[in-house]
A and B are shown apart, each in its own frame.
Chain A
């Protein structure tokens, strides 16, 4: 085990896969000389050269689509989109092409590519640069969508995504890059499509993913001191969604809160709630609660931005409300 940052874990995974497989290719804006806007690709141009670490013009539709075509010929491109917001410029290539080619052509060609991109608010980047949009991609058959919350998962899921023959949307979060954690030595390969129990507990399940998992874990630690035992389910994979792990947790705790960074309507929380209606209804002591962002283009001014985004305080309040509504006793 090594204590490292989420950023370094991603960098380690890329370096390791570039060394392992000569078909792995990094494509993106400013990933070479500039080492990436968030320095995820630091040092890789020096180590692997401009053929393996390919800087592109500002042309998301063009270079994401070029990655699709190169993957059809056997390359394994790992695309960095500078922020998730810019992926909307490439959405035709992601949704209409990368996601469709394997199935629509009768399984004749796979599209082994990864699109890495950071999302998330809270950085005072205003409305167009603070989105999450994970449900846009999680909605699309043909894609795989992962959103790791810890350095260990970031590394193991990125390695899994690169070795996977399907297009994988790899969602990072700006607020996670400097977070630290223990990462197993060597190349662990995570299983895409599996959630993890980030913390076991018995009174209430918090179902969450990406940055919000770190919030949920911190809240769980605080409430543990009061004798409230939260179970934290880290989805890790948004498509496929591990419904069984979610339902099994709630069947045990009988209470569920979904914590998500994106806005509420039609969100991940809505999907989880519907899943629990189907798979844990008889076990629920109260309706599922959702804690999500306010539905407004995210403002720049700090007091407004902070008011719009879900916080640990919001989660604690909702947990207490739900416990009170279900006559919780320690």
Chain B
């Protein structure tokens, strides 16, 4: 028996992304979708910065890039700049793209390491076009040939997630998604199988559905409060548990990258949109008071604050099952990890695409649920390891928090990766997961983990040939960046800027 009705509970980023994704695929298959949200309940508006994968999501919805960028005041994003992570004063960019190109099937960075160890020093960043473009505040779309410098990189966006939700609401409503205003007061379950059958709203109305998408935020109204699924607490790995966020005016042109600056008890984000800059301080309240965190945030803003500081608290981790019975938790109800690598929206997207691929029928086969949970667990676990890397690949010892990380026993999967890198510049690979070897390379090299050695095969080619090859790649990058327009003017010319 086919599912006839989907109910989405909650209308933040996760809710409307789910509504858009599901209505795009299912509204012409006779499945009706209803989304319940209450204007009285605020949304968190997770991560305003994204990963390149969001473009696939938008594309599959048939969304025009310019329309989307105009509606959400979006800027382009080439990567994330990390400041003060390895040690105070350090800076590097984690770009969306590879460094150089393999030579004789050997990863490029081994040649870079070889030159480095012979005293020919260069920043790894100089071997990446998107990094140099970001640092110069420049952007243009990758051009035609994928093999050429200035073309083989990815990009994402920085946008107002509240406006994105609105944009997707319009999209969804045009595809027959019904939006109902109201607070959920009661959740009813089937006595036999425990499935949720309907929800009651404040005004006494009832919404029945076959499947429920829980986008109700941290509290997990259905997945946790009703189904008691349980939460896997990861705060021993990622102990930051609070954040304070504030928006400020933008000084200067909007930049094509996000910044994450390490602090003594957490880190601070800066996300430039077209019309304002989003800022926030993620911290561990054991080592800094709320007031002090707010003070630190406000005193480091680059422009005048235009909103009141907003306090958030969270527990890092994930729901033990993201799909339980007929409820799928997408967004904060499913789990939370600090937005250090802009993964929140990505995990929402993964949840939606996996659900579409594994969309059940009314019998809710166990095999669908198992496969969904297996995939999502893998996604979460691997993001966790990558985030943790930022905290442990460091020489910082200037605060209790950094000392906590220095003394931490790492998950073995992460420990082995770091050891293999430190020993010989070897990057462990996996297939399923967001962050691939270039990302690991960016962070490990960017935070001063310098391998003792490198792949001996890199010695086969004559030193001078390698040197001139790498020099010419750096040079080509510089020239390509020179010929790339300023980000702000490119936005305007492209027709995606609200400033005409």
Task: Verify that A and B bind, or say they do not.
Answer: no
Partner-B contacts on A (CB < 8 A): none
